[in-house]
Chain A
């Protein structure tokens, strides 16, 4: 896997939000009623590594067969951030986009993507029931996207220091001695993105119920302040925050880091290199990301796009991509039916069994369920998190 691939993940998963979600919905547009013959072309805006045709690694190919079967030649435009994805879709000229939870609602609100007729996708029924109506692609019961991949932000730990998996995120949030008798100061890491405030909020949900946090992405001033205070305690423990998967892996090898929030991607790679690491989702639960394929409102190749939706759910894509990326398929059957390389065990390692304990990344906006302007919006998360890391 390439350096670039993880880098974009870093930037994007971290919840890139500019425009707050405008209330209200774009006028319902006519959706497709039947699939005609393919138009011969399909352009996809995707994260690097998301649409592979065996060029990076011959074993990972889920495009060639699609092209042979449908005659739709796939071209990929790689985007590095959610902002870039939104910008490219606003610009137009693309058919599909693999949008994360922090971009998808902006695309819907901006009227850049069209409602989907899921009846035209035979394999829609195989999508994980818990994702079918997910709020990051379904608005007022209208579907705007087909689930692609998702994954949790797990707690990675060193098995020599932790003979038993840590049961709480407190190992990265509170000063304490780890099971090997040494303090955790200087030996833990945290994510170098403002969305990490949500991890702190989730920890507080379990440990300070009097704050009344119900959703770590919707924090009022008091709840937000408590989360920042917790992060200031964490600042003393963390020597360096991680933002790049490969730098984090290096820190586990050379810097004596033994516990950190992480992605299954790093855990799998480090394990494959023989390092004593494992991952767990502690009792407080975890945050996570979920991506959705969406169709541009002015797409010139909608028939190819619908064929891709079907391909995305029914082919080896779900299975092999989840291996490639350390993610979880949106079609649970892809873990077990042998359509690709993924196994039930692999899916569980990547987080499938813990779906209910994952709160998926969404963009914090001012107008939240606590009321109009009641919540602290994302841009303040950014500037305040910079302050916390700078020692404020």
Chain B
């Protein structure tokens, strides 16, 4: 019997050995590559969310104001107090109104850009939509405060053109009116629509561009009127884009706490309430409970949006 001589191989370096290790265990490489982003997602991203959730199950001691670190649903119960329910409903109503207005305004713009704008016009269109996003958000909001102020540009222009009665009529509306545009919910609404409009136009345009011309021609060949083509072909195909855009406008409005601070009646929105409760009041549990509301609303919203195929257009 002869023992086979071992194969003579060149001495292997560390790199070779690691390479061989990965070759033999391909999953190891995968795990190593995925670990950092997963750690980021898991620890930093979801971890902070979990910490937030945990806080919302604590409560604040009625007498001393000290946070009691014991599991309770009392804080969530507090959300249903009249003034807190007001905040939630006010925020949801504003988000819905802003989303609807954005969709209505964005549709013709996106339609024009997708169907008719060509070459230089298209570039100009993109610039026009994106330009407001380049300047500071705070500057824009402060500028709007000045535009909408009682003695601001808009009031001045209305006075010169004799249309003050229009503004007065709008401000006389119950619930949303006020002393001037910049101190009314109407003003908050206008600024929200302005700030979030690009986030509606862009996905809507992407969806409209994907509507094949052949379908429109086919519809026309089959005798559909322009209105019918719009209603039965374009609108359903653009809907996922509108829903994708609405995710942005709805969630951004719901979470914003700067605009209602600067333009509006000082009535709280969810973001503002969270800001105040965690900062000056030290009521972290209630702030956390408030913060959970938009998360839940958005989860429902996203589930519905996914069913409608909104993510195909992203």
Residues on A lying within 8 angstroms of B by beta carbon are 11-12, 14-20, 22, 81, 83, 185-186, 192-194, 238-241, 243-244, 247, 250-251, 253-256, 365-367, 373, 377-379, 382-384, 386-387, 389-392
**A residues less than 8 Å from B267 (CB atoms):** 389-391
Within B257-275, the residues touching A (CB, 8 Å) are: 261-262, 264-268, 273
A386 in contact with B83 (CB, 8 Å): yes
B64 in contact with A19 (CB, 8 Å): yes
B146 in contact with A254 (CB, 8 Å): yes
A377 in contact with B63 (CB, 8 Å): yes
- Distance from A90 Cβ to chain B, minimum over Cβ atoms (Å): 13
Q: Which of B60, B152, B265 contacts A254 (CB 8 A)?
A: B152
Q: State the CA gap A389–B267 with chains docked (Å).
A: 5
**A residues less than 8 Å from B105 (CB atoms):** none
- Distance from A2 Cβ to chain B, minimum over Cβ atoms (Å): 13
**A residues less than 8 Å from B114 (CB atoms):** none
Q: State the CA gap A206–B33 with chains docked (Å).
A: 71
4 closest Cβ contacts across the A-B interface? Answer: A18-B282, A387-B83, A186-B179, A239-B183
Q: Which of B151, B261, B276 contacts A255 (CB 8 A)?
A: B151
For residue B283, CB closer than 8 A to chain A, the reply is yes
For residue B304, CB closer than 8 A to chain A, the reply is no
**A residues less than 8 Å from B198 (CB atoms):** none
- Distance from A391 Cβ to chain B, minimum over Cβ atoms (Å): 7
For residue B180, CB closer than 8 A to chain A, the reply is yes
Q: Which of A20, A194, A389 contacts B280 (CB 8 A)?
A: A194
For residue B281, CB closer than 8 A to chain A, the reply is yes
A254 in contact with B280 (CB, 8 Å): no
B276 in contact with A382 (CB, 8 Å): yes
Within B78-131, the residues touching A (CB, 8 Å) are: 78, 81-84, 86-87, 90
Q: State the CA gap A16–B63 with chains docked (Å).
A: 16
Q: List 10 A-B contacts (CB under 8 A).
A: A16-B280, A16-B281, A18-B65, A18-B281, A19-B282, A20-B65, A239-B265, A250-B145, A253-B151, A382-B280
Within B167-219, the residues touching A (CB, 8 Å) are: 178-180, 182-184
For residue B149, CB closer than 8 A to chain A, the reply is yes
Q: Which of B262, B264, B268 contacts A386 (CB 8 A)?
A: B268
Q: State the CA gap A381–B16 with chains docked (Å).
A: 69
Q: State the CA gap A16–B86 with chains docked (Å).
A: 24
Q: State the CA gap A12–B179 with chains docked (Å).
A: 29
A377 in contact with B64 (CB, 8 Å): yes
A192 in contact with B266 (CB, 8 Å): yes
- Distance from A165 Cβ to chain B, minimum over Cβ atoms (Å): 24
- Distance from B258 Cβ to chain A, minimum over Cβ atoms (Å): 11
Residues on B lying within 8 angstroms of A by beta carbon are 60, 62-67, 78, 81-84, 86-87, 90, 145-146, 149-152, 178-180, 182-184, 261-262, 264-268, 273, 276-277, 279-283, 286
Q: State the CA gap A387–B78 with chains docked (Å).
A: 13
Q: State the CA gap A186–B261 with chains docked (Å).
A: 17
Q: State the CA gap A392–B267 with chains docked (Å).
A: 10
**B residues less than 8 Å from A239 (CB atoms):** 178-180, 183-184, 265
Residue of A nearest to B183 (CB): A239
Q: State the CA gap A213–B195 with chains docked (Å).
A: 47
**B residues less than 8 Å from A378 (CB atoms):** 65, 281
- Distance from A180 Cβ to chain B, minimum over Cβ atoms (Å): 16
**A residues less than 8 Å from B178 (CB atoms):** 186, 239
Residue of B nearest to A372 (CB): B63
**B residues less than 8 Å from A379 (CB atoms):** 60, 65, 281-283
**A residues less than 8 Å from B286 (CB atoms):** 383
Q: State the CA gap A15–B282 with chains docked (Å).
A: 11
Residue of B nearest to A381 (CB): B281
Residue of A nearest to B286 (CB): A383
A256 in contact with B60 (CB, 8 Å): no
Residue of B nearest to A256 (CB): B150
- Distance from A42 Cβ to chain B, minimum over Cβ atoms (Å): 28
Knowing A240-B183, A377-B63 are in contact, say whether A390-B87 is a contact too (CB < 8 A). yes
A19 in contact with B66 (CB, 8 Å): yes
Known: A16-B281, A382-B276. 5 other contacts (CB 8 A): A186-B178, A186-B179, A251-B149, A254-B152, A377-B65
Q: State the CA gap A389–B265 with chains docked (Å).
A: 8
- Distance from A331 Cβ to chain B, minimum over Cβ atoms (Å): 30
Residue of A nearest to B266 (CB): A241
**Among B152, B266, B267: residue with most chain A CB under 10 A:** B266
Q: Which of B66, B86, B150 contacts A391 (CB 8 A)?
A: B86
Q: State the CA gap A114–B158 with chains docked (Å).
A: 62
